[in-house]
């Protein structure tokens, strides 16, 4: 892809599930973009997203879409286990890449692929959509502008309405890599790198989750490199809905990012009641649109998209440190989590 | 247009200003729709919206777009003074019509055009977008379900950040027709028809508004046909932003529709502070999308779109009653506001 | 009473009901005060309040307490119909007077008694406790400091959980004098005098209220002398609790006084729920304490207590104007509500 | 003191500082109580509280008040270092005891004195006033009633506007014993006993605090005996005010106890702003009254007051465990924190 590219930029969407349709809607709202192809082994799904995006071609195999010479950029929203291979293929083919998190559940593999992306020099963005939520974006600007002074304490809560299916959990890499990583990435985004973690966790929601060696309820203590203190609490189940609350406290004040009622309607009857979000796509609908718009904007302006390879790698390393701390029942220094030597050589 | 029509339905957007672009984005997100034409005397504007909507054709004259035989439905977002003539042309051409409010500032003309639309049997929707805001939609459902019991009191506040340009105000029909009509339409939507109004008003924001015989700050007392009592307060200027608050009180409780903070971020420093909406398009962004989706959905399912000709007419009549009450300093019965006899004969 | 008086100031509490006990608690918390007597025809009630206040004497007849030479100040919380006579007796005896609103339901009688109070030069305070609520006090300070600029619109809602007994309503003077007068007094406190009112009202809560010629649900349009516009809505019944909301809007911003949740506890389950006040004494507990403290403070410092005779009179006149407007179905100028000529002569 | 005692119960207040005056006001509002004595080495202070409470006697030495045979119950609000000795004297004299926290900064001394209290059989209450705040009381009832199901996660934040003077801090026992202990006690109150803690902490507010070996900013990870996970964050300085937020999450929902705006007034100007509490006595004013009323109520009804000796001891042990964890940089089991052997023999 030339920089800046001739417009419109021609996209392929790899994966035509819920996120494929969502990102398709985001793309079709951008005049700088033309979606030319959609790939999914389920033909009906591919056709549906092609109809939404007015894409001319559908493919069963995402590799065929990648190798279509018309395609300049790809959106990877296929199953997690395929991410690394598709990134690799796209990078080798010189395509710009937006990929849902994670690259891989494995640090060695992630390092290898991120290294390749950088060698090939293709634009790469990882799907930490919260960074494009208005509250987190504005919080970061305010922190950088010194509005809370020196950051001293960080606190994040992330709870989903209900756990995903066990089949999904088995290949998810565990609660820290799959769920808490959003809160951990926001910790890095707003406060900085983490030096050490101490995690506790348990199975409280579904005993089946214990059988696959995962936890569903966790709490982590964090020490940041800059001396700030942090906590992250997660649960796979909140009967009242989708619960994401983040607080940054410093010498000059504090910022709280907490979902307002989903609908601006308050009911006075038995108590005073409002509604809560029940679905991450509702809560972060605008953020999903904004991250795609930012990716496109970076491409058209020849800037590096963000968050990129470095954030994909470091947020994974942090999540892996939490996993190790929980497994070993002791504090773990984040920099002690490293790819295996062979991998490092290979990378 | 056949019912149900073959998909996609082919649209023309008449008027390529801010609302044309906004409705264009809504249309392009709907797979049932193909935008085939955009009309605007300013060619660059037309091209811009055509690029957003991937429309093949642009026209300088909206009548040319209406008469393009490919076009099955039109979105009218041209200047207010042209609405009636374009509705008339589109109705005679058998096109489905979505038109921003108002049809006309004049009851006689509005009755004539709405009558024509009904005679021609073309689908017609008027742009009272608040009816598609999640809070008002849910409020209506809850009221119909009996959640607040018998409705007894209604209260609405509508304030804009700043008045529009004087040139716009001169042809706007006055504050009740231009601004308060949204609150008055919601009063009808949530409570029912209004029997009598008593309005007071004044110029507090800009003395120039007095020179064109308009008010910029008004308060209206309403008596509904069903016995409920109501108040509507409007101002053309609120330094803190866009202020829309509505309350429905009844024997079983009350509902309050009030904008939550624009960004779910609360700042603790000097006091506890959050942001407010400053722009109606931000506050009702989702409602603008939803009203277009509802129009398209009505077309594909062969249902009458809503709000339609009756609401266009009755909300205008109510706004005119407020205007008359303010001018004459006395209570006015809404049914006493009628088109002029010639018009009635003509209609 | 000398100014400043020797401490402690010796009080009698006339009336040992709920308000007598409440004001007794306020007095006993003030070191400048000694309660020496409590009067109530119900001996047990008088004894109970005497025990709370450590008062040495109880009386059956409040006049005996007034004429006790030890007593320097009286708190009148007897039934409304006795207020005027007790104020008269206390004024003639030279005692400082705090009296629950109203002085009388009748303008002629109120003028006569307030005139006497002023002639006798005794300190007098009327029990509009909302003026001592932190939110209303601070709002007034902010308005006077120019924080909302020129006041342009006022809006107040006042709803009680349930109507009082019919026997009480019969002698209450009607909804405007008994209930709305608090909102009307706050309108005067925050915005200024009212020029004209237009009231609508009805019986929606209990048909028995119609049989005594009263309304239970009312809405009033107000035009202030300074040109501001206002509305006041009242209801005798709100199933969700005690509902007092007041808004002052001006060229520089707006202030909203609305009860926060009674308990700072939010519950997340089926929706997000908090509690509402169900009782005016809960909502205004601190204001009741503060108004008594302010009365004592005025006495010790030799200042005129506030709100005094003028406010007792003018807020009553405003409430009577609302009553007349409702009865006659037309706008009423407040200054047209005058005492009967005989009374004026007598006064 | 007999059970139930003849009324009124005769109290002495030991210590006539701010808390002495505050508890004096609480006592004087209770008809079951007569304050007969106030003790303070500063005679003017003692007289001031005597005037508030109408107490007949003042003493310079609290032991003289304890040994006044009229006195049946004492309120100990003297400097912390004198608590243990005064409790001991009062217990030996058979007086009912309310004592501000802590008994002592030392577990050995606390165990010894609490043991004595129990041996003497005198009623004893420790001043953890938050347990009598309406939000925490109601939260506990709701948790016990099963409203949040099984408790799974606890989170508490406690921040003061500014650190106390260094002289005070030197004898305070450290941040966990002096400040965090309120949050730790609430953790025990709402969730149960804690098994293990891991604390991090630092000096961020004032370097002088480091010179006395204390921290001013801390974060603690807690594992409860029942398996729940917890975090407690504290800071000695919050520029925006007094910040106490507590959350209990469980299988059935969550409860959030967070201070509503201090004044129910919202200002719309540059943003939407409300006020925050700046002082713990404002935030917990009602709780301070309620804990004294509860103490008196327990005395009159012959019940054991709560929280008593057990809570004084166990909340201290938990705070000491946090201190040890911070000092040693490792997780600490709470039951490993024990009084020294000599002390245990002595106790």
User: What pLDDT score was predicted for residue A261?
Assistant: 85
Is the pLDDT confidence value at D184 over 70?
yes
Alpha-carbon distances, residue D143 vs A193, D191, D249 (angstroms): 37, 9, 10
**Angle between the B181-190 and B309-328 helix axes, to the nearest 10 degrees?**
120
Q: Tell me the C-alpha distance between B91 and D249, whole Å.
A: 59
D269 with B240: Cβ contact below 8 A: yes
Task: Tell me the average pLDDT of chain D.
Answer: 95
D271 with B273: Cβ contact below 8 A: yes
User: What pLDDT score was predicted for residue B3?
Assistant: 65
Is the pLDDT confidence value at C347 over 60?
no
Mean pLDDT of B201-221: 97
Nearest CB to D253: which of C138, C259, C268?
Answer: C268
Alpha-carbon distances, residue D347 vs A24, B308, D110, D210, D344 (angstroms): 73, 85, 9, 33, 5
Please report which confidence band the pLDDT of residue D347 belongs to, taking 50, 70 and 90 as the band edges. very low
Whether B7 and chain A come into contact, CB under 8 Å, resolves to no
Whether C67 and chain A come into contact, CB under 8 Å, resolves to no
User: What pLDDT score was predicted for residue B146?
Assistant: 97
Q: Tell me the C-alpha distance between D188 and D194, whole Å.
A: 7
Taking each continuous run of H as one helix and of E as one strand, the counts in chain D are 14, 15
A267 with B257: Cβ contact below 8 A: no
C157 with B155: Cβ contact below 8 A: yes
Q: What is the dihedral of CA C264, C268, C270, C273, to 10 degrees?
A: 10
Q: Which residues of A touch D150 (CB under 8 A)?
A: 204
Is the pLDDT confidence value at B248 over 90?
yes
Task: Tell me the average pLDDT of chain B.
Answer: 95
Identify from A199, A203, A217, A244 which residue to disrupt to test chain D contact, counting D C-beta atoms within 10 A and taking the largest count.
A217
**Residue with more model confidence, D6 or C53:** C53
Q: Tell me the C-alpha distance between A298 and A314, whole Å.
A: 22
Q: Which residue of C has its CA nearest to D269?
A: C253
Whether A232 and chain B come into contact, CB under 8 Å, resolves to no
Q: Which residues of A touch B134 (CB under 8 A)?
A: 262-265
Is the pLDDT confidence value at D342 over 60?
no
Give the tens place of pLDDT for each residue, D13-57. Answer: 999 999 999 999 999 999 999 999 999 999 999 999 999 999 999
Whether C297 and chain D come into contact, CB under 8 Å, resolves to no
Is the pLDDT confidence value at B142 over 90?
yes
Is the pLDDT confidence value at D322 over 70?
yes
Q: Tell me the C-alpha distance between B337 and B340, whole Å.
A: 9
| pTM (2 d.p.) | 0.95
Chain D nearest CA to B157, separation (Å): 14
User: What pLDDT score was predicted for residue C346?
Assistant: 31
Nearest CB to D31: which of C51, C266, C267?
Answer: C51
Q: Tell me the C-alpha distance between D230 and D155, whole Å.
A: 6
B200 with C217: Cβ contact below 8 A: no
Chain C nearest CA to A276, separation (Å): 6
User: What pLDDT score was predicted for residue D237?
Assistant: 97
| H-assigned helices in C268-308 | 280-283, 285-301
Chain A nearest CA to B226, separation (Å): 22
D233 with A155: Cβ contact below 8 A: yes
Identify from A273, A277, A283 which residue to disrupt to test chain C contact, counting C C-beta atoms within 10 A and taking the largest count.
A273
Mean pLDDT of D177-183: 97
Whether C265 and chain A come into contact, CB under 8 Å, resolves to no
Chain D nearest CA to A333, separation (Å): 13
Is the pLDDT confidence value at D145 over 60?
yes
Q: Phi-psi category of B163—alpha, beta or left, where left has phi over 0 and alpha has psi -120 to 50?
A: beta
Q: Which residue of D has its CA nearest to B240?
A: D269
User: What pLDDT score was predicted for residue A259?
Assistant: 80
User: What pLDDT score was predicted for residue B347?
Assistant: 29
C134 with D263: Cβ contact below 8 A: yes
Please report which confidence band the pLDDT of residue B161 belongs to, taking 50, 70 and 90 as the band edges. very high
CA neighbor of C246 nearest in space, from C199, C191, C198, C205:
C191
What is the distance, to the nearest Å, from the Cα of residue A5 to the centroid of all Cα atoms in its chain? 26
Mean pLDDT of D269-292: 92
Q: Which residue of A has its CA nearest to D200?
A: A229
Q: Tell me the C-alpha distance between D215 and A159, whole Å.
A: 31
CB contacts < 8 A (B, D): 42
Whether C163 and chain B come into contact, CB under 8 Å, resolves to no
Q: Count CB neighbours of A340 within 10 A.
A: 12
Give the tens place of pLDDT for each residue, B275-320. Answer: 989 888 889 999 999 999 999 999 999 999 999 999 999 999 999 9
- Phi, psi (deg, nearest 5) at residue A285: -55, -50
Q: Please give the full DSSP string across A175-229, using - where no structure is assigned.
A: HIIIIIHHHHHHHHHHT--EEEEEEEEE--S-HHHHHTT--SEEEEEEEETTS-E
- Residues of chain A where predicted confidence (pLDDT) is lower than 70: 1-3, 341-347
Mean pLDDT of B224-242: 97
- Cβ burial of A18 (10 Å; 0-12, 13-18, 19+) is exposed
Alpha-carbon distances, residue C304 vs B225, B272, C7, C223 (angstroms): 50, 36, 18, 30
**Torsional sign, CA A123, A124, A130, A136:** negative
Q: Tell me the C-alpha distance between B74 and B125, whole Å.
A: 11
Query: Which residues are within 8 A (CB) of D227 and not within 5 positions of it... i.e. 6 or more apart?
Result: A202, A204, D152
Question: Which helix (H) or strand (E) covers residue D320, if one does?
Answer: helix D309-328
Give the tens place of pLDDT for each residue, C317-332. Answer: 999 999 999 999 999 9
User: What pLDDT score was predicted for residue A345?
Assistant: 32
A251 with D239: Cβ contact below 8 A: yes
Mean pLDDT of B9-22: 97
Q: Which residues of D touch B274 (CB under 8 A)?
A: 271-272
User: Length of chain D in residues, anyone?
Assistant: 347
- Indicate the DSSP class of residue C227: S
Is the pLDDT confidence value at C220 over 90?
yes
* Cβ contact B254:C241 at 8 Å: no
Whether B264 and chain D come into contact, CB under 8 Å, resolves to no
Give the tens place of pLDDT for each residue, C72-122. Answer: 999 999 999 999 999 999 999 999 999 999 999 999 999 999 999 999 999
Is the pLDDT confidence value at D345 over 50?
no
Kindly state the percentage of chain C with pLDDT values over 70: 97
- Cβ burial of D167 (10 Å; 0-12, 13-18, 19+) is exposed
Question: Which helix (H) or strand (E) covers residue C250, if one does?
Answer: strand C243-250
Q: Tell me the C-alpha distance between D194 and D334, whole Å.
A: 7
Whether A269 and chain C come into contact, CB under 8 Å, resolves to yes
Q: Which residues of C touch D134 (CB under 8 A)?
A: 262-265
User: What pLDDT score was predicted for residue C265?
Assistant: 92
Please report which confidence band the pLDDT of residue C64 belongs to, taking 50, 70 and 90 as the band edges. very high
D134 with C265: Cβ contact below 8 A: yes
Q: Tell me the C-alpha distance between D277 and B268, whole Å.
A: 11
Q: Which residue of D has its CA nearest to B273?
A: D273
Q: Which residues of D touch B267 (CB under 8 A)?
A: 271
> Collapsing DSSP states into helix, strand and coil, what is residue A341?
helix
A229 with D201: Cβ contact below 8 A: yes
B273 with D275: Cβ contact below 8 A: no
User: What pLDDT score was predicted for residue A340?
Assistant: 76
């Amino acid at each position: 892809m030339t920089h800046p590219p001739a417009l419109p930029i021609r996209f392929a969407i790899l994966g035509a599930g819920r996120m494929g349709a969502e990102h398709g809607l985001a793309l079709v709202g951008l005049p700088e973009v033309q979606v030319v192809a959609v790939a999914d082994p389920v033909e009906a799904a591919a056709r549906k997203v092609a109809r939404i995006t007015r894409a001319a071609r559908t493919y069963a195999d995402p590799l065929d879409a990648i190798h279509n010479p018309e395609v300049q950029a790809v959106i990877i929203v296929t199953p997690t286990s395929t991410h690394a291979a598709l990134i690799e293929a796209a990078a080798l083919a010189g395509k710009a890449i937006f990929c849902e998190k994670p690259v891989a559940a494995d640090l060695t593999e992630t390092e290898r692929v991120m290294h390749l992306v950088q060698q090939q020099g293709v634009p790469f963005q990882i799907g930490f959509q919260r960074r494009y939520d208005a509250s987190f974006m504005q919080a970061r600007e305010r922190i950088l502008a010194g509005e809370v002074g020196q950051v001293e304490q960080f606190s994040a809560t992330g709870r989903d309405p209900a756990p995903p299916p066990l089949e999904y959990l088995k290949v998810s890499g565990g609660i820290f890599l799959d769920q808490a990583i959003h809160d951990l990435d926001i910790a890095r985004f707003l406060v900085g790198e983490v030096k050490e973690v101490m995690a506790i966790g348990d199975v409280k929601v579904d005993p089946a989750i214990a059988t696959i060696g995962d936890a569903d309820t966790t709490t982590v203590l964090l020490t940041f490199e800059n001396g700030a203190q942090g906590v992250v609490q997660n649960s796979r189940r909140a009967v009242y809905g989708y619960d994401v609350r983040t607080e940054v406290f410093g010498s000059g004040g504090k910022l709280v990012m907490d979902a307002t009622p989903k609908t601006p309607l308050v009911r006075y009857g038995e108590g005073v009641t409002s509604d809560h979000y029940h679905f991450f796509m509702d809560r972060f609908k605008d953020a999903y649109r904004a991250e795609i718009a930012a990716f496109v904007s970076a491409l058209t302006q020849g800037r590096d998209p963000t968050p990129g390879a470095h954030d994909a790698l470091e947020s994974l390393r942090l999540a892996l440190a939490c996993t190790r701390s929980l497994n070993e029942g002791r504090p773990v220094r984040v920099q002690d989590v490293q790819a295996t030597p062979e991998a490092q050589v290979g990378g």
